[in-house]
Chains A and B, each alone.
Chain A
Amino acid sequence: MTASEFFNMGGYAVYVWSSYGIAAVVLTWIFISPILNRKSIIKELRMKYRQQQRQQQESPE
């Protein structure tokens, strides 16, 4: 298959490439969102632990 045949997909380019394109977008999003989520959870928990430590240090006084 030549490069132009590849992109043209026998005239069905729109359908074939939209399908693969949408699949790529959806699957990438589903894969990446837990990764981003993890980063924000760790950040959130770090702040929370620091707050807790500070509270513990303050209370005995």
Chain B
Amino acid sequence: MKLPAIVHKFSSPKNFYTMSGKLIPWFTWSFGLTLLAGLYYGFFVAPPDYQQGESYRIMFVHVPAAWMSMFIYMVMATSGAIGLIWRIKTADLMASASAPIGAAFTFLALVTGSLWGKPMWGTYWVWDARLTSELILLFLYLGFIALQASIEDPRNAARAGAVLAIVGVVNIPIIHYSVEWWSTLHQGATVTKFDKPSIHIDMLIPLLLMAVSFKLYYASSVLMRARGEILRREQNSRWVKEVVENDG
């Protein structure tokens, strides 16, 4: 399958480097603004929940973090697949740059979920469907990172990681479904209330604002990581030498 020539033009490391350099400030500023808007709305406009009081405000970090953990995995698997099939280096870079960010969001989803659970159920860990699935997702991320770290040749590391990520992507819905099914069997007293508070519009808006801000954050971070790696890998090319010389 041949890609249109324009893709090859934009996927050259040099063009990627230049273009991302222009995009990063834009993403960073937008992230900052939406973050402030989301936090303000989430703390000062959204009312306390009738059941959970103020503790539900953890949701404004927990839920977007969980969404990002899934979204980033999809991006990682997709860019890995693109790099694998069409041998595009920048796609490989996007995949490996995404992994630590995705793992961080997964970790945050777990920690904030745990801190939300403690006042609600009295324990720091609950084997509820969402947390359990997130934990397994963290293992999938760590496996990807560990695999890439243990292969020396960058090209092979990228390809192996891509195969693993694709296998993971196929498995994620299966794992989620299995864990949810398992959790409904053993639910008993620990009925999960993580999706309730019944979502009041004043709670939905900050949630969506935080979700958007996290996406912009990811866009900035992943591009910064990918650029650093490009400099290292293309260090023998003239354009990199110019960049290094001209750098402040």
Contact = CB atoms under 8 A, between A and B. Distances in A.
A20 B101 CA distance: 17
A45 B240 contact: yes
A1 B44 contact: yes
A1 B48 CA distance: 10
- Please tell me the size bucket of the interface on B: 35 or more
B140 interface: no
A15 B235 contact: no
A35 to B, nearest CB: 7
A19 B111 CA distance: 7
B10 interface: no
Could you say which of B55, B100, B107, B116 has the most chain A C-beta atoms within 10 Å of its C-beta? B55
A6 B23 CA distance: 36
A30 B55 contact: no
Tell me the interface secondary structure of chain B in the complex. Answer: helix
A12 B53 contact: yes
B175 to A, nearest CB: 24
Nearest to A41: B231
A48 B65 CA distance: 40
B153 to A, nearest CB: 20
Contacts of A42: 231, 244, 247
Contact of A34 (B62, B221, B247): B221
Contacts of A6: 43
Interface string B128-163: 000000000000000000000000000000000000
Interface stretch (B74-82, B200-208, B222-230): B222-230
B235 A48 contact: yes
B54 A19 contact: no
Nearest to B112: A19
A32 to B, nearest CB: 10
A10 B145 CA distance: 40
5 nearest A-B pairs in the assembled complex, by CB-CB distance: A10-B54, A12-B55, A34-B224, A10-B53, A9-B54
5 contacts: A19-B58, A19-B61, A22-B108, A27-B108, A45-B244
Given A30-B101, A30-B221, A34-B224, 9 more contacts: A9-B54, A16-B57, A20-B58, A20-B61, A22-B112, A23-B108, A37-B228, A38-B231, A41-B228
